[in-house]
C-alpha cells in the first residue's frame, strides 16, 4: 500500500460501486483522499457480484463466470494489493485452467492445445482457426492466418482510422466462407457480448490476438479463474479492506442528477429511502454503466463535458449467465467449454473442481455437488427447442433451451455426460426480467461496434472536478470487462491527481503487448500509412505467404 507523504483533505464522491468504482476508491484512499462510494443497489461489485439464489440456501449465483485472461494486468495488480487471510492476497485466489473443450453438435469436438511459435510461418500456422477436426479447408485457414498477420503488422493509426470503421465479419470476409470458418473465426463472441457482424475489426482482432498470445506465451497463464464465488473470493475482502482504510460505503442510493455549471460539478442528487439528498465533494467519479450515464445527461452536462454528448450512440448488448446446480460434480475438462455451433453462443465452466475452500454440498442441504456456470452471448438467434431467440423466451424457456443446447453438444456418440437426473436447480441472472413479450436485460454490456470509438470519452472531462471510471471510457484494454473498468478508474484517479496537485505517484497503466517480431513491420506500415499507401496484406490478399509478406514490406 502506498503511504501518502502528506495529509489530503480533499473529498471524492464515487458514483457506482462496481469494479470501476471500487478500483477508483482503492487508488484514491491509498493516496490519502477522503472517499465515499454511492451504489444504487444493496450489494457492491456491480456485474461481478455474487447473488444468493434463494433465501433457503447459502449457495451463490453469478451474473456470469469470471474469466481472467493472461493479458489482464490492471485488475490483477489491484487484486494483489487486497489482503486475504493472514498471509495472502485476493490475487492468490486466481487459479489457472489447463484445457478448453471445443464442443459441437455435429462434427468432432477437440480439446485445445498450445505451442510457442517463433517464426512468421509458425505464427501463421498457429493463427489458423482450428485444425483437421473442423473440416476447415486449407485455403480458408491460410486466408484467416493472413488476415491476422495483416492486423498484427498494421500500425496503430491504420487500426484506429481504418480497421475501427469496418466490422470483424467484413474484415475476415466471413460472409463468403464456410460455416466452420464462420464459427471459429467468430469465437470471440463466446467471450464477449460482441457479434462479429457488428464489432469493430480493430477491437475484435486485438482481443483475439491477446487471447492467442496468452495461450502461447510461456511466461503467462492463458486463463485464470477464481477459486470460489466472486464475492467470497474477491468482492467482500475488497470492501472490507477499503472500509478498514476509511472508505465510506452508501448502498441503495441511486444517482438521479448530476448538477453542474460550465466549469464544474456542484453536487450530485441521490435517492435515499424515497427522499432526495445532495452529495457534495471536491471531486466526482462517475463509475456508472453507459446506459445509466446516458439517463443522467442534461444539456448543462453536455455543454460542460462535450465528450459525453454522443454517449447515447454507444450500443449495448446482452451477455448474461445461468447456473445449473447438479447432484454430481461433472468436471468435463479442466477449463472452459465453448459450444461452437450453439445458436445462443454458449460457453460454460464446471466450477467446483477449482473451488478449494467453498463446497456446494456444504453451502446447500447436501444435495448439490457441482455447478455448470453458463453464459449466453447471442440473444437473437432461434434456439433448438422452442425455435425462438432468447430475448423472446420466458425465463423458464431460457433455462430449458440452454440445458437442451448443452446436452446436444455434450451427449453424443453414445456418451451421456449431462443427464436430466443430476439437475437439482438452475439460477438465471435476476437482471433478466420477464415481460409480456419475453425478457429484458437490466444489466447489458457495452459493445464496441464498428466506428463507435469516436463516441467514447477519455477518463478526464472538461469539467475540472468530474472524471469517468467505466468500461466505455477509452482504454488500452478497449473491451467491456473488469480489466477495462479498472484501467479507466486508474486514468480517472490520475486526472484527479494532475488537477489537485496532490503529491502522490500516478497509477500504473499498462499497454497491450504484442509479439516483438512484428514491431519492425508495424513501423514500416506507419510510413506507408503516412504516404497514403494501403497495407500490402490488402493489396496481395489471398495470394501472399507469411515469408512473402516480409519481402513485400521492404519495397
Task: Identify any residues that bridge with 336 across adjacent strands, giving them in sequence order.
Answer: 100, 349
Average pLDDT across the chain, whole number: 88
Q: Look at residue 133 in the predicted model and tell me its pLDDT.
A: 44
- From 535, 467, 433, 14, select the one nearest 248 (Cα to Cα): 14
Q: Which three cell numbers stand for residue 265?
A: 460539478
All three cell numbers of 42, joined, read: 444493496
> Between the CA of residue 430 and those of 114, 157, 427, 465, what are the distances in Å?
37, 42, 8, 35
- Element spanning 213, H or E: helix 201-216
Which pLDDT score is estimated for 402? 97
Whole-number Å distance between alpha carbons of 485 and 472: 8
Residue reference for cell 491476422: 148
Split at pLDDT 50, 70, 90, the class of 223 is: confident
Domains of the chain: 11-42+251-315+449-500 (3.50.50.60), 49-70+93-116+220-228+319-443 (3.90.660), 138-217 (no CATH)
Of residues 388 and 273, more confidence is placed in 388
CA dist 496 to 24, 61, 258, 278, 464, Å? Answer: 11, 36, 18, 22, 9
Higher pLDDT, 226 or 220: 226
Whether 552 has a pLDDT exceeding 70, the answer reads no
pTM of the predicted model as reported, rounded to 2 decimal places = 0.90
Strand partners, 257: 269
Task: Please give the C-alpha separations between residue 21 and each of 6, 469, 488, in angstroms, as whole numbers.
Answer: 24, 7, 10
Q: Give the model's pLDDT for residue 206.
A: 87
CA 525, CA 51: separation in Å to the nearest integer? 49
Residue 117 confidence (pLDDT): 56
Instruction: Take residue 257 and report the three cell numbers written for it.
Output: 442528477
Q: Which of 9-13, 61-65, 443-447, 540-544 has the lowest mean pLDDT?
A: 540-544
> Is residue 6 predicted with pLDDT exceeding 60?
no
Instruction: Flag the least confident range among 50-59, 161-170, 233-242.
Output: 50-59
- Taking alpha carbons only, the member of 18, 70, 15 closest to residue 510 is 70
Of 179-188, 321-330, 342-351, 402-411, least confident by mean pLDDT is 179-188
Burial of 87 (0-12, 13-18, 19+ CB in 10 A): exposed
Q: In this structure, what C-alpha cell is assigned to residue 542?
A: 489471398
Predicted pLDDT of residue 198: 83
Closest CA relative to residue 304, chosen from 104, 462, 465, 186: 462
Q: How is residue 346 written as a grid cell? A: 454458449
Taking only the tens place, the pLDDT of each residue in 195-206 is 788 889 998 888
Q: Which residues of 471-505 are buried (b: 16+ CB within 10 A; e: fewer)?
A: bbbbbbbbbbbbbbbbbbbbbbbbbbbeebebebe
Residue of higher predicted confidence among 57 and 293:
293
> Quick one: average pLDDT of 118-139?
60
DSSP of 91-134:
GGGEEE--EEEEE-SSS--EE-------SHHHHHHHHSS--GGG
DSSP code at position 446: E
Contact between 112 and 215 (Cβ < 8 Å): yes
Beta carbons of 80 and 91 less than 8 angstroms apart? yes
d(C-alpha 142, C-alpha 388), whole Å = 36
Give the three cell numbers for residue 503.
503529491
Give the residue-averaged pLDDT of 486-500. 97
Q: What is the pLDDT of residue 452?
A: 92
Q: What is the 3-state secondary structure (H, E, C) of 128-171?
A: CCCCHHHCCCHHHHHHHHHHHHHHHCCCHHHHHHCHHHCEHHHH
Cα–Cα distances (Å) from 286 to 136, 186, 268, in that order, read 46, 33, 10
SS3 assignment for 326-364? ECCCCCCCCEEEEECCCCCCEEEEECHHHCCCCCHHHHC
- Alpha carbons 361 and 406: distance in angstroms, whole number: 23
DSSP 235: I
Amino acid at each position: 500500500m502506498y503511504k501518502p507523504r502528506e495529509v489530503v483533505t480533499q473529498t471524492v464522491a464515487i458514483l457506482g460501486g462496481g469494479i470501476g468504482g471500487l478500483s477508483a476508491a482503492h487508488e484514491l484512499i491509498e493516496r490519502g483522499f477522503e472517499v465515499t462510494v454511492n451504489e444504487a443497489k444493496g450489494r457492491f461489485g456491480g456485474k461481478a457480484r455474487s447473488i444468493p439464489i434463494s433465501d433457503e440456501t447459502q449457495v451463490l449465483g453469478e451474473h456470469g463466470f469470471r474469466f481472467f485472461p493472461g493479458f489482464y494486468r490492471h485488475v490483477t495488480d489491484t487484486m494483489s494489493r487486497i489482503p486475504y487471510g493472514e498471509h495472502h492476497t485476493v490475487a492468490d485466489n486466481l487459479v489457472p485452467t489447463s484445457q478448453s473443450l471445443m464442443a459441437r453438435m455435429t462434427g468432432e469436438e477437440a480439446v485445445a492445445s498450445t505451442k510457442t511459435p517463433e517464426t512468421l510461418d509458425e505464427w501463421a500456422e498457429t493463427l489458423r482457426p482450428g485444425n483437421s477436426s473442423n473440416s476447415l479447408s486449407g485455403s480458408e485457414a491460410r486466408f484467416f492466418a493472413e488476415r491476422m498477420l495483416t492486423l498484427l503488422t498494421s500500425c496503430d493509426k491504420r487500426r484506429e482510422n481504418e480497421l475501427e470503421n469496418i466490422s470483424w465479419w467484413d474484415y475476415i470476409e466471413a460472409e463468403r466462407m464456410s460455416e466452420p470458418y464462420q464459427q471459429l473465426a467468430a469465437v470471440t463472441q463466446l467471450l464477449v457480448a460482441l457479434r462479429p457482424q457488428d464489432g469493430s475489426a480493430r477491437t475484435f482482432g486485438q482481443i483475439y490476438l491477446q487471447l492467442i498470445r496468452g495461450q502461447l506465451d510461456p511466461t503467462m497463464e492463458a486463463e485464470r479463474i477464481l477459486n470460489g464465488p466472486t464475492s467470497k473470493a474477491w468482492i467482500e475482502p475488497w470492501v472490507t479492506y477499503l472500509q478498514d482504510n476509511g472508505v465510506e460505503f452508501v448502498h441503495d442510493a441511486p444517482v438521479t442528477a448530476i448538477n453542474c455549471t460550465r466549469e464544474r460539478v456542484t453536487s450530485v442528487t441521490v435517492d435515499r429511502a424515497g427522499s432526495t439528498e445532495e452529495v457534495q465533494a471536491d471531486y466526482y467519479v462517475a463509475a456508472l454503466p453507459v446506459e445509466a450515464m446516458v439517463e443522467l445527461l442534461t444539456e448543462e452536462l453536455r455543454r460542460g463535458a462535450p465528450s459525453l454528448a454522443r454517449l447515447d450512440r454507444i450500443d449495448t448488448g446482452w451477455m448474461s449467465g445461468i447456473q445449473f446446480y447438479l447432484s454430481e460434480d461433472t468436471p468435463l475438462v479442466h477449463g472452459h467449454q465453448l459450444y461452437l455451433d450453439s445458436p445462443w453462443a454458449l460457453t460454460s465452466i464446471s466450477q467446483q473442481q477449482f473451488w478449494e475452500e467453498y463446497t456446494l454440498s456444504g453451502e446447500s442441504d447436501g444435495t448439490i455437488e457441482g455447478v455448470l456456470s453458463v453464459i449466453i452471448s447471442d440473444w437473437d438467434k432461434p434456439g433448438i427447442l422452442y425455435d425462438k431467440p432468447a430475448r423472446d423466451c420466458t425465463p423458464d424457456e431460457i433455462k430449458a433451451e440452454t440445458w437442451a443446447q448443452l446436452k446436444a453438444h455434450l451427449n453424443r456418440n453414445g456418451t451421456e455426460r449431462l443427464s436430466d437426473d443430476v439437475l437439482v436447480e438452475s439460477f438465471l441472472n435476476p437482471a433478466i426480467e420477464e415481460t409480456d413479450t419475453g425478457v429484458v436485460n437490466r444489466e447489458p454490456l457495452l459493445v464496441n461496434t464498428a466506428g463507435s470509438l469516436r463516441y467514447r470519452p477519455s477518463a478526464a472531462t472538461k469539467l475540472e472536478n468530474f472524471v469517468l471510471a467505466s468500461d466505455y471510457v477509452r482504454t488500452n484494454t478497449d473491451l467491456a470487462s473488469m480489466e477495462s473498468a479498472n484501467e479507466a478508474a486508474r486514468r480517472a484517479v490520475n486526472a484527479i491527481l494532475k488537477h489537485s496537485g496532490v503529491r502522490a505517484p500516478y497509477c500504473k497503466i499498462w499497454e497491450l503487448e504484442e509479439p516483438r517480431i512484428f514491431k519492425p513491420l508495424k513501423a514500416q506500415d506507419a510510413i506507408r500509412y503516412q504516404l497514403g499507401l494501403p497495407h500490402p496484406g490488402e493489396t496481395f490478399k489471398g495470394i501472399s505467404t507469411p515469408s512473402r509478406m516480409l519481402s513485400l514490406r521492404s519495397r
